[in-house]
Chain A
Amino acid sequence: MTESSGSKLLNGEACQRTLRGKNAGKNGFVKNHCVFEHPRKYRRPTERSQNAAPNSSLYKKPFSESFEETPLLVAVLTYMGYGILTIFGYFRDFLRHWNIEKCHIAHEREQQKDFVPLYQDFENFYTRNLYMRIRDNWNRPICSVPGAKVDLVERVTHNYNWTFEHTGKVVKDVINMGSYNYLGFAENTGACASAAIETTHAYGVGVASTRCEIGNLDIHEELEQLVARFLGVESSMAFGMGFATNSMNIPPLTGKGCLILSDELNHASLVLGARLSGSTIRVFKHNNMQSLEKLLRDAIAHGQPRTHRPWKKILIVVEGIYSMEGSIVRLPEVIALKKRYKAYLYLDEAHSIGALGPNGRGVVDYFGLDPKDVDIMMGTFTKSFGAAGGYIGGRKELIDYLRCHSHSALYATSMSPPVAQQIISSMKIIMGEDGSTLGKDRLRQLSENTTYFRRKLREMGFIIYGNDDSPVVPLMLYMPAKIGAFGREMLKRNIGTVVVGFPATPIIESRARFCVSAAHTREMLDTALRAISEVGDLLQLKYSRRERPLSTPGWTYEESLLQD
């Protein structure tokens, strides 16, 4: 099956994607007839729906992702919004400069006015004039465990978000749609918490050393063997911090003379690790296998930039679920490409481990593939296991090499014992080894919640990005004012959400990101959906231009309750 799909890719790939391609003549390509030409070139570009029709033989179940295009009117209004905000920003800066308005930002002392400026005025333009206005949507202090419901500290501001004061009251039982709590293990009661408390009594909290010196506890060894068994790999290694796992472990693996092919939307930790390693980095379009194959062929055919020597290593870096888009990587195709072109694959399963797949083993389990095909499987314990830290799994030689050469193992403190115990307990629950069906129930609950939530939001008419099976649900807001309005309106209705805008996302694609959890009950989701629908009507967020079933909200909810 791999050979035939490989040749299919070969036939399809030997062509240029657009006629405007600048390197049409440069690569020495033979321009064959394209079997694989993007069908959307000939269709109206209303929707970038990626249904993997050409390569469906690799997928055991339908792969349906959709990223509906921004309606043009909305884009124009968004630019208008940013334009008005910019004009007002310049106006306010003018007032602050002439001391008509009080200036809260940092500035140098009088004696230092003639020096080279320490605070770059223009670089803070966005923070001063746009971010400060809606700053109350971020950094909200929480004062309970971030489970399905959370308590927030109430704060007020008397000078338009420049300073906050705590009123002393607590907003109780806010439905938590923002925490990465996919399997609901963020709890302070239950088997995991009791085991962690016992471990704290036995080991204490701090380790006071690195793994290589005297910080290698037996609980770490137990954890690593368990993780290796969970993933289906030969050996694994655990680190204290997920970000550090990526940024400290890519440098020992690749170096100068190696090539890293990384997805457009990779996380900052992967980008940092790739840059620290000193390899050449080439970026391929998000989840686009034609782009990746083109890069691979170019790299192998042409070699390193000036000398044309062959690359020492080619490493493809992808993530399991991309947390800002909610899309799942096309892993079968990536593995087929990697085998054909003899590259290595680094898979970052930060959000997908525990959340995807019938047994919760991540995106490899979701597609039904062999874990031995992925050379380096990385993941974090922060999201589905309710702990902190990251792991890397792979062949024994690789992990033994990393034990000696990883910066994180040599210089960073090892994982804290209660955290390690939390991971061990939760992983055993997911695997079903604690004797109960709690793991299976939670996995099933998560996938049901995901399907229900996504379906309902789509039916209401919102634009949702991503794969139908991913528990990360980005809801598009687009306009800058709606970012602040959405966050505040949802908090008024007792629902905590995470909103993101420019420059973290592309300029028109601001979004609110919901993370569905197994701890959410159907009633909580219904409450949340009702509130989202209300806010959506209030702020006119239902942009989707697809047909949706005509039904009144009341009838749909009743129908869903009856079907349970």
Chain B
Amino acid sequence: MNVGTAHSEVNPNTRVMNSRGMWLSYTLSIGLLHLILLSIPFVSVPVVWTLTNMIHNLCMYLLLHTVKGTPFQTPDQGKARLLTHWEQMDYGVQFTASRKFLTVTPIVLYLLTSFYTKYDRVHFVVNTVSLLTVLIPKLPQLHGVRIFGINKY
């Protein structure tokens, strides 16, 4: 199985987020996570929402902004080896539809969480910090930037 046998797409990772049904699957998986957390008997609803928000942001940070390169060998001799998935999306073109969607979803989740936690102070701090870890790497100015050399190679 070689990359690009059926189409001349050099790095299929760039198009994964635009595929049919991906946004729906993403939303459904957030819903599923929320349901699973709600099923735990002894946690209250605000804690569940905060947990959903935090786990979602943690997974998003790990998958989109930590893991680098492609899980298959691409024919472009590894141009994307040091790029995270967010940086690879659409070959680095900013403000495409998928990028906007993935920026808006954590914000919507944050708003819902703030509502359901009744704007409690501790929850607010935790959720806001979590949201910032996910929003700041998505800024176009931070494309390819590695602060303090973390995650450089």
Contacts and interface: CB of A to CB of B under 8 A. Distances in A.
Interface of A: 20, 69-70, 72, 75-76, 78-80, 83, 120, 122-127, 131, 138, 262, 264-268, 270-271, 283, 324-325, 500-508
Contacts of B24: 72, 75-76
A326 to B, nearest CB: 11
Which residue, of B5, B7, B69, B81, has the highest number of chain A Cβ atoms within 10 A?
Answer: B7
B59 to A, nearest CB: 11
Given A503-B72, A506-B12, A324 B21 contact: no
A560 B25 CA distance: 43
A136 to B, nearest CB: 13
Given A76-B28, A80-B25, A503 B20 contact: no
A122 B8 contact: no
A120 B7 contact: no
B72 A127 contact: yes
A75 B8 CA distance: 22
Which residue, of A131, A503, A507, has the highest number of chain B Cβ atoms within 10 A?
Answer: A503
A83 B25 CA distance: 11
A83 B6 CA distance: 23
Contact of A324 (B7, B68, B81): B7
B12 A501 contact: no
Given A123-B69, A506-B12, A506-B15, A76 B25 contact: yes
Given A72-B20, A502-B12, 19 more contacts: A75-B22, A76-B21, A76-B24, A78-B21, A79-B22, A120-B69, A123-B69, A126-B1, A268-B5, A268-B8, A271-B4, A324-B5, A324-B7, A503-B3, A503-B12, A504-B6, A506-B6, A507-B15, A507-B16
B6 A75 contact: no
Interface string B1-39: 111111111001001100111101100110000000000
A504 to B, nearest CB: 4
B20 A264 contact: no
Contact of A79 (B3, B21, B73, B75): B21
B1 A503 contact: yes
A262 B19 contact: no
A378 B122 CA distance: 69
Contact of B8 (A20, A131, A271, A505): A271
Contacts of B41: none
Contacts of A264: 7-9
Nearest to A76: B25
Contacts of B21: 70, 72, 75-76, 78-79, 508
A100 B18 CA distance: 38
Contacts of A325: 6
Contacts of A75: 19-22, 24-25
B112 to A, nearest CB: 22
A508 B71 contact: no
Given A76-B24, A503-B1, A507-B12, A123 B70 contact: yes
Interface of B is mostly: loop
A214 B8 CA distance: 37
A503 B72 CA distance: 8
Contact of B72 (A69, A83, A123, A505): A123
A506 B19 contact: yes
A70 B20 contact: yes
Given A79-B25, A123-B72, A123-B73, A504 B81 contact: no
Which residue, of B69, B72, B75, has the highest number of chain A Cβ atoms within 10 A?
Answer: B72
A309 B8 CA distance: 28
B15 to A, nearest CB: 7
Given A76-B25, A123-B73, A507-B12, A500 B20 contact: no
13 contacts: A70-B20, A76-B25, A120-B69, A124-B71, A138-B1, A268-B75, A500-B5, A503-B4, A504-B6, A505-B5, A505-B7, A506-B15, A508-B20
A270 B8 CA distance: 9
A271 B7 CA distance: 10
Contacts of B68: 122
A20 B18 CA distance: 15
Contact of A507 (B5, B8, B19, B75): B19
A76 B26 CA distance: 9
Contacts of B4: 268, 271, 503-504
Contact of B1 (A69, A70, A124, A504): A504
